[in-house]
Amino acid sequence: MVGLLCLSALQAQERIAISGSISDLLTGETLAGAVVYLQSDHSTGVSANAYGFYSILLSAGESDLVFRHMGYESQTVHITETTDITLNIQLKPTTTTLNTAEISSELENENITTHQMGAEKLQIKEVRKIPVLLGEQDILKTLTLLPGVKTTGEGSGGFFVRGGNSSQNLILLDEAVVYNPNHLLGFFSTFNSDAIKDVTLWKGTAPAAYGGRISSVLEVRMKEGDLNDYHVGGGIGLISSRLNVQGPIVKERGSFILTGRRSYADLFLKLSSNDALANNQLYFYDLNAKANYKIGKKDRLFISGYFGRDVIRFADRFGIDWGNTTGTLRWNHIWSDKLFSNTSLIFSDYDYRVEINRDVDDFSLTSIIRNWSLKHDFQLFLNNKNSLDFGFQTIKHTITPGQVEVSEGSDIVPTELQNRYAWESSVYVANTWKPNKQWNINLGLRGTHFGLTGPGDFYSYENGNPIDSVHYATGELAASYFNIEPRLSIAWLLSESQSIKFSLTRNTQHLHLIQNSNSSTPTDIWIASSNNVKPEIGDQLSLGYFQNFQNNKYQFSIEAYYRHMDNQLDLKNGAEIRANEHIEGELLYGIGRAYGLELLLKRTKGNFTGWVSYTLSRTERQIEGINQGNWYPARQDATHDVSIVAIYSLNDKWDISATWVFNTGNAVTFPSGKYEINGEIEFYYTERNGYRMPDYHRLDLGLTRSFRKNDRYESSLNFSLYNAYGRKNAYTIDFEEDPDDPTKTTAVMTYLFTFVPSITYNFNF
Amino acid sequence: MVLILLTITFLGCTEELDLDLNSSDPQVVVEANISSSEGTQVLLTSSVNFDDDNDFPVVTLADVTIEVSDGNTYNLPEMSPGRYEMESLICEPSKSYDLEIQTGSKLITARCVVPTQVPFDSLIVEKIEGETAGGPGGGFGNGTQYRIKVQYNDPAGQPNYYRFVVFKNGSFESSTIFDDRLSDGQVNTNTLLSFGINLSSGDSLEVKMQCIDENVYDYYNSFGNLFGGPTNASTPANPYTNLNGTKLGYFSAHTSESKSQIIPN
């Protein structure tokens, strides 16, 4: 480390380092990913890190530096310095309205030059005009319009990346894990678009700094708040409303942002003539808060948090509520013009509580997963060809699998399952190396140790029955795993507008979601790797070709991937997962594989923007005890998946947009026969996921009218029509007695939404 | 589950669908019970394809025997087509029973141990006053809603499994299972139908309490978890079975105790 610093100091004698931060001229919000390059030689360039910090080396003497970021006017600075300098740049937004129809990378051909592949980045303002269900903008829903990312339809939460399960996505909100990103069964996500700055999704190819899930990393970053001026903004929709306040704490030094959102779907229940329905509750709310303060020129502190909750209650008889809480305290420090660090202390928690009010007693079940984490990341800009990222993270996990509480006099015995404690520690180092104009290489290595510790009793199982138990004291290791995760990605530039990329990645996962079903429900249970449950390992190989046309107006990419997954879990038929001490005895183990081809064509400039994406893929599992041990398609396996997104700006007042999606129906298990037992007709199943749901397709339309009274006040009205041609997409298919002919059985499909119009009013001043 | 019901209630519309389902080889379906009060019945039928009529062929001329752990072996005569019965063969707690069925070249076997008998202390039938039965969907037809509760004293320190079967005017209404995972050693008061049952005065109500063994509990429990559930969400599969040689059905040797009530005015 010290050696490296000396080395870079030596090199700096011939060259000068320009470093600083890049931010928005109006709000002071830092611009992560903004690029800096030499006007005379575009290949001499760097991009700003997640906190807007950059460092570039130049030959002493005169030169022109260009600073660029999507949605901002680029700025050229003439440099005449002969020594290292700090140069903080503020870029002016191209437009201050909500409307930016531009969808482009920071550097126009950055998609070609970066070594990253399988990465999707969205700025929140890009998604505003895409039509959505009930007018609630949703970053997760927009992500599913990209190749390789899919949902399993309405009302089933979560998203699936390249054949992984929804629980194999690492979802980070300002670095804190969000265990359940869904509100209202997945109709909405926990990410309030007012609070979000940008979103990056790595489809199994994340840099070495990330780890812990085998399928993807979704990094969501919250806005920092305006450093210069106070603003109030919000939106009023049919199902929910939002409000946000932001402004400086001390002008140009510190700022804050507070956002809130609440749904009021249950108010419609009150209109119901049915008393039983009118007494029910169904709503969610969430709050995001963030503040930051610059201490001197080299330090900046950030504190951010999220709190969200869903509540469902049936007429005093049954209730469930669940939610995530996260908190992040960050300290940015600039050690030198080449060394930047960020230290974070992170908290995250997910819990649910089920309450049942019986006639004789009240009974509740609570389950919690919580972690505290310390993370220290360094970025060392060695020279324009080399940069190093390195750091460590240590996480303390506490899982409370189930606590049963009862009212006095109940026949249920209050039960508390033993908490599980684990330490997950990792170190990583990654080198980005651009030896010349043609190559951009990132080689990273991550080592992760996972230790499950006492206090507690740990069982071993045979045929699902506990055969032995060992007690471990506090801090004693009950199970321990160490894995090395190599990450390699290479871009080979054939020209300024063409490149071939390759990546090889290993990810491991130590927290496993136990799902009674394939769609996530709030009461799914997380368990840790243990003496019985081995860590999940995902290995992915991908190859891609990228090309831009017509001066980067069109971006085209084709990527192929193959992923192998070890130690995949499933439940035995009829397994008991609630408050079950022996849940590990209910598990089945196996492997998975996924492969596919992803095509994307984007138009990024002009009045007409959008993209067409197509994915051809296959996802299979082989688990002992299921389907006679044969490979079978995972539920989210969809052969074809197409999304078309089109946004057209008529003028500065009107925008119209449309999206169309199509995918092969999910793999599903249908009966192949029937029989009678105990006087009832039951169904006979021969193979797992041997059938397909009907194909899913849907067209959504959107229309946005923007109003601008003066520089300060702006507003817009958004109309959308979900499922514009009323396709009846199957939500469930049930098999039952034919109502017209009791000697027959028939299949009945339930579908949810046809023609859902909505209107949302957004404002900001 | 309830969440999904709610969703469907509010938003869902349904439509019949024409699906092309594969055909399947017929499977022998075994419904075999030995009770401490009602003797032994084994019903053998066969599964059919989904598109066929609900007409399930019986399996006749099978050789059905029961071997008891005390050494006695009984051959069950076929009393009517597919129905093999012996009223005099009743089971006793802690004895094990081996079932053997030979039909054509197919051999089906199963073993079941009768658990300790736990007394059925009381049957409580209450009129649900005031409120309409809560829960999704609301209306449950006309008549008065009643709540049925059962009471028993669970023996401490051992796993126990129970099944309660409700008959209304002699016909099967519902069955509910309980374990003592969370209520070991307690006086249990359990509600059988959470949303109540429609009864009129003069109706006769019978509740049978069965103490079942763990495998049989697993059979009914996997049915409960799989059957009817949010079909799209949970992966349906054949329920767990304690039979070897076929996939469908069960063999239960259980204690049985019954309580009845006539609904007053």
pLDDT at residue A687 is higher than 90? no
Cα–Cα distance for residue pair B26/B32, rounded to 1 Å: 19
The token duo for A208 is 């070495």
Give the mutation candidate from B121, B165, B232, B246 for the A interface (greatest A CB count, under 10 A): B232
- Residue contact A688–B237, C-beta within 8 A: yes
Asked if residue A318 lies in contact with residue A357, where contact means CB atoms within 8 angstroms, the answer is: yes
Residue A478 CA to its chain's centroid (Å): 32
* Among candidate residues A125, A124, A81, A76, the one with its CA nearest the CA of residue A100: A125
pLDDT class for A681, splitting at 50, 70, 90? confident
pLDDT class for A443, splitting at 50, 70, 90? very high
Of A55-59, A276-280, A386-390, A702-706, which gets the smallest average pLDDT?
Answer: A276-280
pLDDT at A275: 60
pLDDT at A338: 87
Asked if A743 reaches chain B (Cβ–Cβ under 8 Å), the answer is: yes
Asked if B58 reaches chain A (Cβ–Cβ under 8 Å), the answer is: no
The residue-averaged pLDDT of A467-471 equals 89
pLDDT at A12: 44
Q: Which residues of A touch B236 (CB under 8 A)?
A: 669, 671, 683, 685
pLDDT at residue A174 is higher than 70? yes
Q: Give the mean pLDDT of chain A.
A: 85
The residue-averaged pLDDT of A560-572 equals 91
Conformational region of residue A134, where left means phi above 0, alpha means psi within -120 to 50, and beta covers everything else: left
Asked if A466 reaches chain B (Cβ–Cβ under 8 Å), the answer is: no
Cα–Cα distance for residue pair A324/A318, rounded to 1 Å: 21
The token duo for A585 is 């005895």
Identity at B188, one-letter amino acid code = N
Q: Which residues of A touch B190 (CB under 8 A)?
A: 411
- Residue contact A574–B247, C-beta within 8 A: no
Domain ranges within chain A, ordered by starting residue: 2-91, 221-764
Asked if A215 reaches chain B (Cβ–Cβ under 8 Å), the answer is: no
- Residue contact B2–A314, C-beta within 8 A: yes
pLDDT class for A10, splitting at 50, 70, 90? very low
Which residue in the set B16, B188, B235 is minimally distant from A518, CB to CB? B235
* Among candidate residues A146, A158, A45, A162, the one with its CA nearest the CA of residue A103: A146
Q: Which residues of B touch A670 (CB under 8 A)?
A: 19, 21
The token duo for A249 is 């704490």
pLDDT at B143: 62
The residue-averaged pLDDT of A383-399 equals 92
Dihedral of the alpha carbons of A18, A24, A29, A32, in degrees to the nearest 10: -50
pLDDT at residue B210 is higher than 50? yes
pLDDT at residue A235 is higher than 50? yes
Asked if B13 reaches chain A (Cβ–Cβ under 8 Å), the answer is: yes
pLDDT class for A748, splitting at 50, 70, 90? confident
The token duo for A84 is 């290292």
Identity at B41, one-letter amino acid code = Q
Q: Which residues of A touch B181 (CB under 8 A)?
A: 576, 579-580
ipTM of the complex: 0.87
Q: How many CB atoms lie within 10 A of CB A152?
A: 26
- pLDDT single digits (tens) A148-162: 998 876 766 678 999
pLDDT at B79: 94
Of A226-230, A258-262, A672-676, B237-241, which gets the smallest average pLDDT?
Answer: B237-241
pLDDT at A176: 95
Interacting residues of A682 by C-beta distance below 8 A, sequence separation 6+: A674, A675, A676, B223, B227, B248
* Among candidate residues B254, B218, B249, the one with its CA nearest the CA of residue B31: B249
- Count Cβ neighbours within 10 Å for each residue of A417-431 and write b for 16 or more, e otherwise: beebbbbbbbbbbbb
- Residue contact B249–A580, C-beta within 8 A: no
How far B145 CA sits from the closest chain A CA (Å)?
14
Side-by-side strand order, sheet with A745-751: A730-737, A745-751, B13-17
Q: How many A×B Cβ pairs under 8 Å?
A: 234
Q: A302 or A577: which carries more pLDDT confidence?
A: A302
pLDDT at A24: 87
Cα–Cα distance for residue pair A164/A481, rounded to 1 Å: 22
Q: Which residues of A touch B11 (CB under 8 A)?
A: 752-753
Chain B, nearest residue to A187 by Cα:
B7
Residue A678 CA to its chain's centroid (Å): 47
The residue-averaged pLDDT of A569-592 equals 83
Asked if residue A425 lies in contact with residue A373, where contact means CB atoms within 8 angstroms, the answer is: no
φ, ψ for residue A518, nearest 5 deg: -85, -15
Q: A2-91 in CATH: which number?
A: 2.60.40.10
Of A265-279, A383-397, B193-207, B234-248, which gets the smallest average pLDDT?
Answer: A265-279
DSSP B6: H
- Residue contact B18–A279, C-beta within 8 A: no
pLDDT class for A679, splitting at 50, 70, 90? confident
Q: Which residues of B touch A404 (CB under 8 A)?
A: 182
The residue-averaged pLDDT of A42-53 equals 82
- Residue contact A675–B248, C-beta within 8 A: yes
Overall size of chain B counted in residues: 265
* Among candidate residues A429, A371, A364, A365, the one with its CA nearest the CA of residue A402: A365
- Residue contact A671–B27, C-beta within 8 A: no
Asked if B155 reaches chain A (Cβ–Cβ under 8 Å), the answer is: no
Cα-Cα-Cα-Cα dihedral sign, residues B68, B154, A462, A686: positive
Listed by number, the residues of chain B in 72-111 with a beta carbon closer than 8 Å to a beta carbon of chain A are none
Cα–Cα distance for residue pair A657/A607, rounded to 1 Å: 11
Give the mutation candidate from B27, B54, B126 for the A interface (greatest A CB count, under 10 A): B54
pLDDT at residue A433 is higher than 60? yes
- Residue contact A735–B50, C-beta within 8 A: yes
Q: How many CB atoms lie within 10 A of CB B201?
A: 10
Write out A33-52 in H/E/C secondary structure.
CCEEEECCEEEEEEECCCCC
Question: Kind of pairing, strands A176-177 and A169-173?
Answer: antiparallel
Asked if A316 reaches chain B (Cβ–Cβ under 8 Å), the answer is: yes
Q: A140 or A697: which carries more pLDDT confidence?
A: A697
Listed by number, the residues of chain A in 125-184 with a beta carbon closer than 8 Å to a beta carbon of chain B are 155-156
Q: Which of A149-163, A400-414, A561-575, A634-648 has the highest mean pLDDT?
A: A634-648
- pLDDT single digits (tens) A618-670: 999 999 888 888 999 988 888 999 999 999 988 888 989 999 999 998 888 88
Residue with tokens 């651009």: A434
Are the folds of A2-91 and A221-764 the same? no
Asked if residue A627 lies in contact with residue A687, where contact means CB atoms within 8 angstroms, the answer is: yes
- Residue contact B49–A672, C-beta within 8 A: yes
The residue-averaged pLDDT of A373-387 equals 90
How far A272 CA sits from the closest chain B CA (Å)?
11
Question: Kind of pairing, strands A680-684 and A673-677?
Answer: antiparallel
Q: Which residues of B touch A317 (CB under 8 A)?
A: 134-135, 194
Which residue in the set A358, A522, A681 is minimally distant from B191, CB to CB? A358
Output the furthest CA–CA distance in chain A (Å, rounded). 92
pLDDT class for A500, splitting at 50, 70, 90? very high
Listed by number, the residues of chain A in 632-661 with a beta carbon closer than 8 Å to a beta carbon of chain B are 635
pLDDT at residue A258 is higher than 90? yes
- For domain B120-238+256-262, give the fold: Immunoglobulin-like (2.60.40)
Q: Which residues of B touch A635 (CB under 8 A)?
A: 235
pLDDT at A276: 58
- Count H helices, E strands: chain B? 2, 18
pLDDT at A410: 72
Asked if A408 reaches chain B (Cβ–Cβ under 8 Å), the answer is: no
Chain A, nearest residue to B136 by Cα:
A277
Asked if B26 reaches chain A (Cβ–Cβ under 8 Å), the answer is: yes
The residue-averaged pLDDT of A746-750 equals 85
How far B68 CA sits from the closest chain A CA (Å)?
24
pLDDT at B83: 95
- Name A701's bridge partners: A658, A721
pLDDT at residue B18 is higher than 70? yes
Q: A740 or A224: which carries more pLDDT confidence?
A: A224
Asked if residue A433 lies in contact with residue A441, where contact means CB atoms within 8 angstroms, the answer is: yes
Question: Kind of pairing, strands A667-668 and A654-663?
Answer: unpaired
Interacting residues of B175 by C-beta distance below 8 A, sequence separation 6+: A678, B163, B164, B165, B166, B220
Identity at B20, one-letter amino acid code = D
Q: Which residues of B touch A185 (CB under 8 A)?
A: 3-4, 7
Cα–Cα distance for residue pair A350/A179, rounded to 1 Å: 6
Identity at A29, one-letter amino acid code = E
pLDDT at A270: 64
φ, ψ for residue B224, nearest 5 deg: -60, -40
pLDDT at A359: 65
Q: Which residues of B touch A728 (CB under 8 A)?
A: 13, 15
- E-strand ranges in A437-553 read 439-453, 456-462, 465-472, 477-495, 498-509, 511-514, 525-528, 536-549
Domain ranges within chain B, ordered by starting residue: 28-113, 120-238+256-262
Interacting residues of A495 by C-beta distance below 8 A, sequence separation 6+: none
CATH 3.40.1160.10 fits B28-113, yes or no: no
pLDDT class for B155, splitting at 50, 70, 90? very high
Q: Which residues of A touch B48 (CB under 8 A)?
A: 673-675
The residue-averaged pLDDT of A5-14 equals 47
Asked if A675 reaches chain B (Cβ–Cβ under 8 Å), the answer is: yes
Cα–Cα distance for residue pair A706/A97, rounded to 1 Å: 8
The residue-averaged pLDDT of A259-288 equals 76
pLDDT at B194: 59
CA angle B214, B219, B223 (to 5 degrees): 140
pLDDT at residue A317 is higher than 90? no
- Residue contact B248–A677, C-beta within 8 A: yes
Which residue in the set A517, A518, A675 is minimally distant from B56, CB to CB? A675
Q: How many CB atoms lie within 10 A of CB B124?
A: 14
pLDDT at A101: 34
pLDDT at residue A37 is higher than 50? yes
Asked if B185 reaches chain A (Cβ–Cβ under 8 Å), the answer is: yes
DSSP B61: S
3-state secondary structure of A25: coil
Cα–Cα distance for residue pair B226/A351, rounded to 1 Å: 26
pLDDT at A95: 60
Identity at A154, one-letter amino acid code = E
The residue-averaged pLDDT of B233-260 equals 87
Architecture in CATH of A221-764: Beta Barrel (2.40)
- Residue contact A747–B222, C-beta within 8 A: no
Asked if residue B161 lies in contact with residue B211, where contact means CB atoms within 8 angstroms, the answer is: yes
The residue-averaged pLDDT of A12-31 equals 81
- pLDDT single digits (tens) A328-374: 999 999 898 889 999 999 999 999 998 887 666 788 888 899 999 99
The residue-averaged pLDDT of B34-53 equals 92
Cα–Cα distance for residue pair B96/B91, rounded to 1 Å: 9
